[in-house]
Amino acid sequence: MMWPLDLLILALVVVCAVVTISIRDLLAATMVFSVYSFLMCLLWAEMGAVDVSFTEATVGAGVSTVLFIAAILRTTRRSKD
């Protein structure tokens, strides 16, 4: 466990989370959320939980992004608030 790498990934995770909830464009928010999932995957892998990391990479960064984009293309891209 290398703490500088941990600290870097954690800082990026926090930045991505704040950007995801504050951005207006829902498509951009989805992409930033995908980056958030991938950073969480890196964090799990770095902590030694390889199975969790694998699930996060496939479900969080892969399929859920595609499902969000499909839902956005069928509804609206602008956030109301």
Q: How far apart are CA 72 and CA 81, in angstroms?
A: 16
Using the Cα atoms of residue 59, residue 63, residue 67 and residue 69 in order, give the sign of their dihedral. positive
Least spacing, CB of residue 11 vs another protein, in Å: 16
Q: Is 67 in the site for another protein (CB under 8 A)?
A: yes
Per CB under 8 A, the segment of 15-23, 30-38, 49-57 that binds another protein is: 49-57
Over the range 18-29, which residues count as b (16 or more CB within 10 Å of their CB) and which as e?
eebeebeebeeb
Closest CA to 58 of 47, 50, 70: 50
Using CB under 8 A as the binding rule, whether residue 14 contacts another protein is answered as no
Q: Which is nearer to another protein, 8 or 67 (CB)?
A: 67
Q: List contacts with another protein (CB under 8 A).
A: 1, 47-48, 50-51, 53-55, 58-59, 62-63, 66-67, 70-71, 73-74
